[in-house]
């Protein structure tokens, strides 16, 4: 239910300007209500340097004199307009401190017009009945580290399209039903959504946001999006939303010079912009900006039941020198952006304490403590994207196998820092655009070599320490770079080779979810043990994934990135006994002896021969670009 009053009280003003008002959206924006027995909408906006502010509404013929707002103190303007209803369009006319009149969308709008239109739309926060109580109860930020997390990253507008509709966009409800079915079929645990916060330019993919409280109207209404999240939860799927608190675009109807001054952006020209992106940087030193962004985060996780926010471009917020040829230097000579760092700590602490959700950092910096608790001196994120693993591994994959021995360290070095943070191993949309090639075409060689390399890469990713993320289409070997204006090439799933990649990923997802040694490893180096990290001449690595106390239900992993076959390949093992193969990248191929052809594959029996510094070893015919996973110890009766 809406609150009895949305007028800014003295307490609201104090919390807002302190920067801690995480429910500011319940007072700011457009709220349907009754005052003195009359139905209408109360509008509220923060425009501290404005000379005059008016609400223009389509129902009132866009007449400025019918929506004159009153300054109620501390830069806040309010007005109650009778007769305004849900779905009415509106915008603000603001006469700035510079004397220029600007027409602005509501920074706190809960719904926006479909681009290129720019008006805000009156939209109640009520009216949807949720059906996800069981999921909400069982999934909190208290137990997420010990659970499997395999994320399917999706851009809804290009996952599937239907050209019978304008722009080809499907509704959130249609997408929810089809996407949930696919995610459950494959075995992912979470979906991460690109470009949900409203944005004007399709080519920005949603990373230049103008609607920090508004689900994009490309795919329907806010309640349609609530249905999407609800459906995912009912199917056991967590929902992660990309969120951008670092910067905003310069579109004339947006936040730039909202009231003629530097309201949301920094006044200091050395901090005001990100020239590389052509955007304005938020000034996190201002209480009104902090409350705006903090309440945006709280809004998504409470009003839409979002499970986690993936915070974009964290590195740009940590240092004043990021992406700038000239930058601000602190008195101590450092370039740390203290205001932005303090804001990140505050939003992390607030969201994890007051909600069941958490934040994930998309961070390319080497700043320590990103996933350490704030009270322990850290930044407070639950997870951090492992950009180092992604960069090192892809550079190795892109190298010709003949020369990979020179880059072998790129493949093995990742284990040296795998436990410094709570990492997510990412192969995201950023890696398959701008001439970077789709995943299946990154490796050199024939298409069969490329497919074999890709399957071994996925085997490495899903058995390496850390949570997992894979961008849509790459799980069946999409053969084109991602384009936000076209749907995935789903026809490839009927091709045998691409179907094989898809089945390989599906099998890996099942193993990842089924074996706790693969998903209870956060900051626990005892869960990973090298067998051989130095077989660089043959492009092979081998390691063990285990629980911290013993080898119960442990896994031996052998990954080959070589086009050669090695009959009788010997691999040292920790224990004497039997090793049962539970996965091979050849499992779906005819004549491979995989599960599709042989119901019970005999386990390997150890040889009492020293290998890789171990007393025992197993011998296995390792085929070109094959990766295999063995469970141990296995009792002889299971042979």
Q: pLDDT band at residue 589, thresholds of 50, 70 and 90?
A: confident
Instruction: Decide: 112 and 484 in contact? Cβ < 8 Å.
Output: no
3-class secondary structure, 604: strand
Global pTM value? 0.95
- Of 256, 362, 475, 521, the active-site residue reads 362
3-class secondary structure, 332: coil
List, for residues 283-304, the tens digit of each pLDDT value. 999 999 999 999 999 999 999 9
Instruction: Decide: 83 and 55 in contact? Cβ < 8 Å.
Output: no
CA distance 511 to 505: 10
Q: What is the span of the domain harbouring residue 521?
A: 388-424+444-472+501-639
Phi, psi at 425, each rounded to 5°: -80, 120
Q: Is residue 335 part of a domain?
A: no
Q: Is residue 528 part of a domain?
A: yes
Per the structure block, which two tokens stand in for 425? 């191993």
CB-neighbour burial class of residue 126 (10 A; exposed 0-12, middle 13-18, buried 19+): exposed
CATH code of the domain containing 608: 2.60.40.1180
Q: Is residue 107 part of a domain?
A: no
User: Max alpha carbon distance in the chain (Å)?
Assistant: 91
User: Measured in whole angstroms, how far is the alpha carbon of residue 465 from the centre of its chain?
Assistant: 18
312 is catalytic: yes
pLDDT number for residue 1: 29
| β-strand pairing of 89-95 with 52-57 | antiparallel
Phi, psi at 45, each rounded to 5°: -145, 150
User: Measured in whole angstroms, how far is the alpha carbon of residue 485 from the centre of its chain?
Assistant: 21
Instruction: Decide: 546 and 558 in contact? Cβ < 8 Å.
Output: no
571 pLDDT above the threshold of 50 = yes
Q: How many CA atoms lie within 13 A of 442 on its CB side?
A: 25
Q: pLDDT band at residue 73, thresholds of 50, 70 and 90?
A: confident
Q: pLDDT band at residue 592, thresholds of 50, 70 and 90?
A: low
List, for residues 405-419, the tens digit of each pLDDT value. 999 999 999 999 999
Query: How many structural domains comprise the chain?
Result: 1
594 pLDDT above the threshold of 60 = no
User: Measured in whole angstroms, how far is the alpha carbon of residue 547 from the centre of its chain?
Assistant: 28
List, for residues 435-471, the tens digit of each pLDDT value. 999 999 999 999 999 999 999 999 999 999 999 999 9
373 is catalytic: no
User: Measured in whole angstroms, how far is the alpha carbon of residue 101 from the centre of its chain?
Assistant: 38
Q: Is residue 509 part of a domain?
A: yes
Q: Is residue 284 part of a domain?
A: no
Instruction: Decide: 627 and 581 in contact? Cβ < 8 Å.
Output: no
- Of 312, 363, 478, 535, the active-site residue reads 312
> Which is more confident, 594 or 195?
195
Q: Is residue 8 part of a domain?
A: no
pLDDT number for residue 635: 76
CA distance 595 to 500: 13
Q: Is residue 634 part of a domain?
A: yes
CB-neighbour burial class of residue 291 (10 A; exposed 0-12, middle 13-18, buried 19+): buried
Name the residue among 529, 466, 469 with its Cα closest to residue 505: 469
Q: Is residue 31 part of a domain?
A: no
Name the residue among 505, 550, 560 with its Cα closest to residue 529: 550
């Amino acid at each position: 239910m809406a609150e009895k009053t949305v007028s800014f009280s003295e307490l609201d003003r104090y919390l807002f300007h302190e920067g801690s008002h995480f429910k500011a959206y319940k007072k700011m924006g457009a709220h349907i209500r009754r005052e003195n027995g009359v139905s209408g909408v109360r509008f509220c906006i923060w425009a501290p340097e404005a000379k005059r502010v008016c609400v223009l509404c389509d129902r009132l013929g866009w007449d400025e004199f019918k929506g004159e707002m009153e300054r109620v103190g501390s830069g806040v303007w309010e007005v109650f307009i009778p007769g305004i209803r849900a779905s009415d369009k509106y915008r603000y006319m603001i006469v700035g401190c510079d004397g220029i009149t600007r027409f602005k969308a509501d920074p706190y709008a809960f719904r926006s017009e479909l681009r290129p239109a720019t008006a805000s739309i009156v939209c109640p926060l009520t009216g949807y009945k949720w059906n996800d109580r069981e999921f909400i109860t069982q999934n909190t930020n208290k137990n997420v580290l010990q659970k499997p997390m395999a994320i399917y990253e999706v851009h809804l507008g290009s996952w599937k399209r239907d050209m019978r509709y304008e722009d080809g966009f499907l509704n959130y409800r249609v997408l929810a039903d089809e996407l949930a079915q696919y995610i459950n079929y494959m075995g992912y645990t979470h979906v991460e959504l690109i470009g949900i916060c409203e944005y004007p330019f399709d080519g920005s993919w949603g990373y230049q946001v103008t609607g920090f409280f508004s689900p994009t109207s490309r795919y329907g209404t806010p309640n349609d999006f609530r249905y999407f999240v609800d459906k995912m939860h009912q199917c056991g799927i967590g929902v992660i939303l990309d969120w951008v608190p670092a910067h905003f675009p310069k579109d004339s109807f947006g936040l730039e010079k909202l009231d003629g001054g530097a309201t949301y952006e920094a006044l200091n020209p050395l901090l005001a912009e990100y020239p590389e992106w052509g955007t304005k940087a938020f000034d996190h030193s201002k209480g009104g900006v902090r409350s705006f962004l903090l309440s945006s985060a709280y809004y998504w996780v409470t009003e839409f039941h979002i499970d986690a926010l993936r915070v974009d471009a964290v590195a740009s917020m940590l240092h004043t020198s990021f992406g700038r040829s000239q930058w601000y230097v602190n008195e101590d000579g450092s370039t740390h952006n203290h205001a932005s760092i303090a804001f990140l700590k505050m939003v992390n602490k607030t969201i994890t304490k007051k909600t069941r959700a958490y934040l994930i950092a998309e961070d390319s910096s080497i700043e320590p403590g990103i996933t350490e608790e704030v009270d322990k001196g850290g930044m407070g994120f639950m997870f951090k994207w492992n950009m180092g693993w992604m960069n090192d591994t892809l550079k190795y994959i892109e190298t010709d196998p003949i020369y990979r021995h020179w880059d072998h360290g790129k493949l093995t070095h990742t284990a040296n820092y795998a436990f410094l943070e709570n990492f997510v191993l990412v192969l995201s949309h950023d890696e398959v655009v701008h001439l970077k090639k789709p995943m299946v075409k990154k490796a050199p060689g024939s298409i069969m070599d490329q497919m074999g390399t890709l399957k071994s890469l996925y085997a490495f990713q899903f058995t390496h320490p850390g949570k997992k993320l894979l961008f849509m289409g790459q799980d069946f070997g999409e053969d084109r770079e991602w384009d936000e204006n076209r749907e995935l090439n789903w026809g490839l799933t009927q091709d045998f080779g691409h179907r094989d990649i898809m089945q390989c990923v599906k099998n890996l997802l099942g193993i990842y979810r089924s074996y706790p040694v693969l998903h209870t490893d956060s900051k626990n180096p005892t869960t990973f043990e090298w067998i051989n990290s130095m077989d660089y001449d043959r492009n092979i690595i081998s390691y063990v994934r285990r629980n911290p106390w013993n080898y119960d239900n442990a896994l031996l992993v052998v990954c080959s990135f070589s086009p050669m076959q090695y009959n009788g390949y010997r691999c040292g093992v920790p224990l004497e006994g039997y090793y049962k193969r539970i996965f091979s990248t050849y499992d779906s191929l005819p004549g491979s002896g995989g599960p599709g052809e042989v119901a019970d594959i005999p386990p390997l029996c150890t040889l009492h021969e020293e290998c890789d510094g171990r007393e025992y070893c197993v011998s296995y015919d390792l085929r070109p670009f094959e990766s295999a996973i063995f469970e141990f110890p296995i009792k002889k009766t299971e042979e």
